[in-house]
Structure 1
Amino acid sequence: MSTLPNQTWQPHSGRPWLENLRRIGGDGRQLLTELAAQAGVRLNGHRPWDIRVHDPAFYDRVLRAGSLGLGESYMDKQWDAPQLDETFNRLLSCGIEERLHGAAGIALKLRVAAEALRTRLVNRQSRERAFQVGEHHYDVGNDLYEAMLDPTMSYSCGYWAEADDLESAQRAKLDLICRKLELGPGDRLLDIGCGWGGLAEHAARHYGVQVVGLTVSREQAKLARERCAGLSVEIRLQDYRETDGRFDKIASVGMFEHVGRKNDADFFDAAARLLKNDGLFLLHTIGTRAANPVNDPWIDRYIFPNGELPNVERLTKALRRRFVLEDWHAFGPDYDRTLMAWWANLERAWPALEGAGYDERFQRMWKYYLHCSAGFFRSRTGHLWQLVLSHPGRSGSYRAPR
């Protein structure tokens, strides 16, 4: 185990580490070396989580563009780390982004401020933009997702409480959702963000319900319809704001991250309008403890355009007067394990995917995405929440299964 420098970061102590960095001047190598050391990461060290720099341009690139520069320089093979997930765990655990923004030059400060302002002023998840994330991310190729995911094609956190492998964890998650929703024969379930139809298939096959699934991805819709053929499942290529009807139960699994704070009222108003008065609504979402969440610039450009993670305050404000919170279940550490299982699948399948046209830069992009996401949850910067909600007029008590 390494030992961190004696001067640990204390946000209200005058930040002597920042004053030291300012005295360094324009030496990007020295500045980033000092910043990384605060997280117990060495530049050009030999431990699995240390960053090995292959191109000196890496230093100025990160100082100029922050997390965007860090990700792009990895894609361009300017640096590596044998255990990339643990590198990110350490960096995020010490609040590296705030430190980097504080120590960097005016260009990065302006970039960060502009992104925060854009999040506040622009509705990046409007109806007109609703299908952008489907085209950019979910339509990349079903062959990629079939190689990475388990047979249920679940692209959200598994539930590992009693599971030993990815498929078991995903089936346990699907069943947990169905039990929390108290699904039974004859129920009509709306699945907002149905993906490749994993929950729709499971609920129809094992609980005898009728399902309407919504997705903004053409490729997802195509495969979900094939997978659910012969079951009482309808898959719609449709935004949640365009949906009508009444449903006994609603689920939204891994989709709320695409809603955006400016659309919270529209989202929960739509759910309240579509849900019967005695129904239940399960919301499964990634969350963050950040006070003012802004989508990471690298994630926004290469993975999930227009995404925005909720925090507790945003959720509770949006739910007030619309729903009763029946249950709030957190199991963020399970996402770390899920992401690393996805990477193991992808790594095994890479020779075949490479032959199908996915190049080395795409592989490095996807590895960076999965590993930095694992570090996000391992560091407890990110969380996974399942909320069960009901109409204020619902009678009787509710006890959530685990």
Structure 2
Amino acid sequence: MKYHPIPNKLFIRNRHRLSNLLKPKSIAIFHSNDILPTNADGTLRLRQNSDLFYLSGIDQEESIVVLFPDAPDEKHREILFLRETNEHIAVWEGYKYTKEHAREVSGIQTVYWTRQFDTIIRTLIFEAEHIYLNANEHTRADIVVETREARFVQKYQSLYPLHKFERLAPLMHNLRAIKQEEELPLLQEAMRITEDGFRRLLSFVKPGVWEFEIEAELLHEFVRQRSKGFAYEPIIASGANACVLHYLANDQQCKAGDVILLDVAAEYANYNADLTRSIPVSGRYTPRQRQVYDAVHRVMKEATAMLVPGNLWDEYHYEVGKIMESELKGLGLISQHDIDNQDPDWPAYKKYFMHGTSHFLGLDVHDVGSKYRRFEPGMVFTCEPGIYIPEEGLGIRLENNILITEGGNIDMMASIPVDADEIETLMNA
């Protein structure tokens, strides 16, 4: 792996925390993600299942983690199944985990080959009453491809119809929402790499540069610092492109006088940063651009201040909406008449700020967690207000990553330039 080894005490603790949430006489089974095909004999790179990685640190295809805390045989209370390598695989694909290395990485002492899974599981499953299986239950997921875990759910329910089946997703969402002490440096490293990439751009961007050239500069910086690359598909949107929230083409030339919206960040060890900045192609904001930029920046600062223990998702977003309403009114984009006659389900400010302000961040960019759970220390959120004015060809979004603590919060991206004056100074140095 490109990233440095992660202390296995993180994975040992995560398994212990999950085991404490399982019902008596339960067995829990986690599968790695599939390596997805493209065309002909092509495949995509593996993106490991976040839950399996969270519990084991294993970053390889065809891996399975089994937890059976009440197993009569103590050695079967934690089991890792690995794809067995051979000389042919070694020649064509390179290194695969040995059992010894997998024990070192995961802290799981009982390791079998994946081909042994069906035989081993039959010796265990009849000692259990509950079978916990996993599924992608993210509220924003649009699942059109059957996953390895989905296939196994169907198979197990057919093979063992008299067992009681349980959902792992709610338990994993509960655990992963609170970051462990070993996770925070991994997130911080993703943010540090992201900062280096952003600072690199401040001296690179000028009129005439292409969006894809900016993408290439970032990728170079990210990969050379042990990142696999982008945490998500990069948005490098100049001019009116910035008003397309998920603009991914990155194929336009950046023109003098425009602003570039950069929603770009690195991953590190499967943990993700999430940064947005809006910088002037010519190195200086116009008065109107600066007016809108400063309005977004003020909303960002006030929203960040509300990311504290005890607050609730919907209440937080409602209050941010009121702040944005005031700023848009000051910019002349909405009027009091618009506010007085607005649809409560789609307030007037939504015309220019149509997305949420924050989401969970971690092993997934839009990480798992419940919007109905009050904010707690250890949660990490983005804070990303924006104003999009298609008629002016201008979109401004600013985004940092915020750690909630007992005493308030910590801006994990506080060192990344965001003040408009600082950005102009650095671009003209």
Higher relative contact order (CA 8 A, sep 6+): 1
State the TM-score, normalized to the length of structure 2. 0.28
Q: Which has the larger radius of gyration?
A: 2
- In proportion to residue count, which structure has more helix? 1
TM-score, structure 1 as length reference: 0.29
